Amino acid sequence: MIRGLSHMTFIVQNLDRMQAILTTVLGARKVYDSGEETFSLSRERFFLIGEEPGDADAPAPIWVAIMEGESLPSRTYNHVAFKIAEADYATLLGRIRALGLEVREGRSRVAGEGWSIYFHDHDNHLFELHTGTLGERLQRYASGRSDDS
């Protein structure tokens, strides 16, 4: 049976450049660097995103792997979204822009489903930083459209 998400792996041309995105924008901590060794397909680094659990109810950090390889050939809306606090929105948007990353215009939103920052890395991966939750979105969608949307 599935017990949760194990990890996410992103193939990137430049490990250092992706590490800067992970650490600067997502607050990741590097926990492994293969250096010149290749235990897998290519050189790789592992990161943890999120706080170490302080109690049994805290979510586990997210394991993100990056591996050296070719960029995605094109950009799509396929993406990974990370939960952020609304209070951190402006700070994180500033960090993304300071790295020179392309911020993608977000899709239209209805009030109550949260706010998002979408940005592409240098290898055509799309990331989203989102303030809402699934429960909030389902509740908002269940209430139907309103004139303020």
Sequence-ordered strand ranges (E) for 13-147: 29-33, 44-49, 62-68, 79-83, 102-104, 116-120, 126-130
Report the alpha-carbon distance of residue 98 to residue 122 in Å, rounded: 14
Among 44, 68, 70, 136, the one annotated catalytic? 44
Report the b/e string of 54-74 with b at 16+ CB within 10 A. Answer: eeeeeeebbbbbbbbeeebee
Q: Report phi then psi at 19, rounded to 5.
A: -60, -40
Q: Is 44 a catalytic residue?
A: yes
Going by C-alpha positions, the residue among 108, 133, 104 that lies closest to residue 121 is: 104
Catalytic (active-site) positions: 44
